[in-house]
Amino acid sequence: MNNDVFKAVKVTDDVYWVGAIDWGIRDFHGYLTSRGTTYNAFLVIDDKITLIDTVKAQYKDELMARIASIIDPKEISVIISNHSEMDHTGCLPAIIDEVKPDKVYASTMGAKTIKAHFGQDIDIEAVKEGDSISLGNMDVTFMETRMLHWPDSMFSYIPQKKILFSQDGFGMHYASFERFADQVDDTILDHEGAKYYANILLPYSGLVPKTFAKVKAAGIELDIIAPDHGPIWRTPEDIKFILDSYSVWSAQKVEAKAVVIFDTMWDATALMARVISEGIESTGVHVKLMPLKGSHRSDVATEVLNAGALVVGSPTINNNIFPTVADVLSYLRGLKRKNMVGAAFGSYGWSGEAIPQIEKYFEEMKIDIASDSVRVQYVPTEDDLVKCREMGIEIGNKVIANVDAE
Ligand code: FEO
């Protein structure tokens, strides 16, 4: 590809963004990426020219063109892979073939994972926690961040520039020409950052404060955080914003908010959802009512991130929970959101298995039942709807009590 097509973006005097922008992606392994994404890679110019992370396989030419706008890619002598998921390593074997670097570094687990993906012949040198390499004037120090969010995940840090390459950590799926958080609207940073955390990092929340403590103990100072997706954080205000957000999200505190999800066949369960929501709202608890015909599982996960209650409605179809409801509950079960209460409701025709099936999910998700379920045959009566409103009030009061208890 012609070197004048895609250009690198300067991050500091010696560090360039050379990644790719994926404007069209909407399904990132089940996550609705409404605003596309970027695969960030970084070129460090020192005696040993270093590439930190690569991009998804089909964006190799874009990566190489951005590198070539600064140097001849064959001058790269070191490649560091902070995370082996294929949005960051998909083109790694092809780049190694083309560039022939002296060394390719990854964490111990990363070396294994890269070989598992691309074959045992690929030559990777494993580094471990606290190891450091010299690039000439600058060093790169490695910090393992296992299970944030893969076993291989690690951070790389250049102390001379106080820049942390944090792979998926502090990232977001957001395609844009703006490379830095201070160029992006705050509401987008907040929403897409939370969505990324809720869908990718939430199950590993317990590791976040431990990682922060490790960073503090190592005396790491941060002028720039450069993640593998979305904007780069380079102002003290923005760095504080994203670090504080991670502290809040990982604490999984209860807020006065309930997420009500439902699907419906002939509108009976939908009517119940509306009445239950009115009951919750009457207690002062904010309700996010999400009909699953139009709400993606990853958007539900985002709303659940700061909710105190998950309320689930499903009709029974062929002795089963409705498929869209099962999809979302299965997804949320994997994300392991803590500290929520829940309640189930729904209409049925002749068997009504959906409610116990929802409550089984609650049990597996360690969600305490806030109110007895409301199960209605065919169409809710006036009395049934009164029960729905009372159920909503009971849920709302339980959420408020849990907020007050914190
Ligand atoms: Fe962006 Fe876990 O890969």
Give the residue among 322, 268, 266, 327 at the shortest CA–CA distance from 296.
327
State the distance from the centre of ligand 1 to the C-alpha of 85, rounded, in angstroms: 5
Give the residue among 270, 269, 271, 273 at the shortest CA–CA distance from 259.
273
Any domain includes 41: yes
Q: Would you write out the chain's pLDDT as a tens digit for each of its 406 residues?
A: 777 899 999 999 999 999 999 999 999 999 999 999 999 999 999 999 999 999 999 999 999 999 999 999 999 999 999 999 999 999 999 999 999 999 999 999 999 999 999 999 999 999 999 999 999 999 999 999 999 999 999 999 999 999 999 999 999 999 999 999 999 999 999 999 999 999 999 999 999 999 999 999 999 999 999 999 999 999 999 999 999 999 999 999 999 999 999 999 999 999 999 999 999 999 999 999 999 999 999 999 999 999 999 999 999 999 999 999 999 999 999 999 999 999 999 999 999 999 999 999 999 999 999 999 999 999 999 999 999 999 999 999 999 999 999 8
The residue nearest atom 3 of ligand 1, judged by CA position, is 85
Given this model, what pLDDT does residue 1 score? Answer: 73
Cα 250 to Cα 11: distance, rounded to the nearest angstrom: 29
On whether both 54 and 132 belong to a single domain, the answer is yes
| SS3 track for 246-291 | HHHHHHCCCCCEEEEEECCCCCHHHHHHHHHHHHHHHCCCEEEEEE
Radius of gyration of the chain (CA): 24
On whether both 276 and 230 belong to a single domain, the answer is no
Given this model, what pLDDT does residue 203 score? Answer: 98
CATH number, domain at 395?
3.40.50.360
Which atom of ligand 1 lies closest to the CA of 171? 1
State the distance from the centre of ligand 1 to the C-alpha of 40, rounded, in angstroms: 11
On whether both 197 and 60 belong to a single domain, the answer is yes
Q: How many independent structural domains does the chain possess?
A: 2
Any domain includes 96: yes
Any domain includes 4: no
The residue nearest atom 2 of ligand 1, judged by CA position, is 85
Any domain includes 406: no
On whether both 217 and 297 belong to a single domain, the answer is no
On whether both 219 and 298 belong to a single domain, the answer is no
Question: Is residue 56 within 6 Å of ligand 1 at its C-beta?
Answer: no
Q: What is the tens place of the pLDDT at every residue in 342-364?
A: 999 999 999 999 999 999 999 99
Q: Are strands 341-348 and 368-369 parallel, antiparallel or unpaired?
A: parallel
Which atom of ligand 1 lies closest to the CA of 39? 1
Any domain includes 404: no
Any domain includes 187: yes
CATH number, domain at 167?
3.60.15.10
Name the domain boundary from 251, 283, 318: 251
On whether both 231 and 104 belong to a single domain, the answer is yes
Any domain includes 368: yes
Give the residue among 108, 105, 75, 70 at the shortest CA–CA distance from 89.
105
Q: Is pTM beyond 0.85 here?
A: yes
Q: What is the tens place of the pLDDT at every residue in 5-18?
A: 999 999 999 999 99
Structural domain of residue 334, as residue ranges? Answer: 258-399
On whether both 201 and 117 belong to a single domain, the answer is yes
On whether both 268 and 147 belong to a single domain, the answer is no
Question: Is residue 384 within 6 Å of ligand 1 at its C-beta?
Answer: no
On whether both 220 and 122 belong to a single domain, the answer is yes
Question: Is residue 22 within 6 Å of ligand 1 at its C-beta?
Answer: no
* Residues tagged active-site: 29, 83, 85, 87, 149, 168, 196, 229
State the distance from the centre of ligand 1 to the C-alpha of 107, rounded, in angstroms: 15
CB 231 within 8 A of CB 184: yes
On whether both 185 and 280 belong to a single domain, the answer is no
Give the residue among 34, 346, 308 at the shortest CA–CA distance from 196.
34
Averaged pLDDT score across all residues of the chain: 97
Name the domain boundary from 231, 251, 271: 251
State the distance from the centre of ligand 1 to the C-alpha of 84, rounded, in angstroms: 8
Take residue 211 and report the two structure tokens written for it. Answer: 């990682």
Any domain includes 198: yes
Name the domain boundary from 184, 219, 251: 251
On whether both 179 and 294 belong to a single domain, the answer is no
On whether both 193 and 72 belong to a single domain, the answer is yes
